[in-house]
Amino acid sequence: MRAALAFNLPPPCRRRQDQELERRQVGPRVACHAEAPPRTRSSASHWSGCKHGKAGPEARGGRPRRDLERRTGPGKPQTTAYRMFLAHPCFHAVLLALITTVMAKDNECDLLGEEGSESTKEKKLLERLTPIFGRSFEIEGESEGEKYTYKFRVCRNASNKTNSGLVQINNKQQTMVLGRINETHLASGSSWILLTYKGGDPYGSHCGKEPRKAIVMITCNKKTLASGFTMVSEEREKMEECFYLFELESSLACPPEDAHLSIGSILLITLAPLVAVYLIGGFLYQRLLVGAKGMEQFPHLAFWQDLGNLVADGCDFVCRSKPRNVPAAYRGVGDDQLGEESEERDDHLLPM
């Protein structure tokens, strides 16, 4: 009886209107389990009704099984699992991550030269600029009476054009690429880094119609990570090697600070162990070998006690402006002012 109640599911042969309403709200409700065998008579009749009645695809308003087999062919796998895999959110997340990774790789600075043959020095300079990757800078400029807007990004796209590292926008919102990040060149000095974007849009009638080139001079400024983006000049009067010159201040262009110790630190580190050995060794010597007690255990106690007086005497000797004993320049001429000379005091010792 309990088994019959357990399998007493809703009637499989509902009206089509109820089935359509239920399928739209919560999806089709499965009334039959194809793999579950009938346990009792009531469940068996129920199973029979579902099997021969209307619980299959026909009951849900779907395509009959014969038509589906005719369309896909007998023995061919169904596409339900494939569709479920494509609709899974994990698949979408993985696909989005792959696309983002590829786009990020394509939109980074690419040094000139074949893959794997780039300059090691340029690679190190590029690593130094990593903290400002993606930083955006925008300034207003004027050239031949026309106003332009210049947008610059470090190793990222500055506009919707491919690999556009530095662009120029006129009043008509027309964008001109001055340099591309996939043709990057780097050079450096003691307190500057030269970032060059080549492969820009070609000139119309200047510079032999060669591609434009943008040069960004990154100078040392320890107070800022990246700021002060300005346009310096535009060189396009030559037949070749024309360029746009910009300037940017950054602490990344500053030389690394010396990490070695100063002379005073070295002397202090050297003298500290020596003083410790002197004090500990002298204390042990005075106590164990000499048998001194109390303050007498201190090594060279008399010298350290007189050290203050010795220092004072030395300062007095070096810094005094007048000598201690100043000889008298004149002597009195009167007999009453004449004192007894030291030689006269020894007259009684002489033999008569």
Mean pLDDT by 10 residues, the chain (352 residues): 42 53 52 47 46 46 49 51 62 62 60 80 92 93 85 93 93 92 93 95 89 95 94 88 94 84 88 93 89 87 87 83 59 55 56 58
DSSP 248-296: EEEGGGSPPPP-SPPHHHHHHHHHHHHHHHHHHHHHHIIIIII---GGG
- pLDDT for res 8: 44
- pLDDT for res 15: 54
Virtual CA dihedral for 192, 198, 202, 207, nearest 10 degrees?
Answer: 50
- pLDDT for res 277: 93
- pLDDT for res 210: 93
Burial class for 303, CB neighbours closer than 10 Å (0-12, 13-18, 19+): exposed
Q: Closest by alpha carbon to 138, among 147, 155, 154, 151?
A: 151
The H or E element spanning position 193 is strand 192-198
- pLDDT for res 43: 46
- pLDDT for res 146: 84
- pLDDT for res 144: 74
CATH superfamily placement of domain 120-253: Mannose-6-phosphate receptor binding domain (2.70.130.10)
- pLDDT for res 319: 84
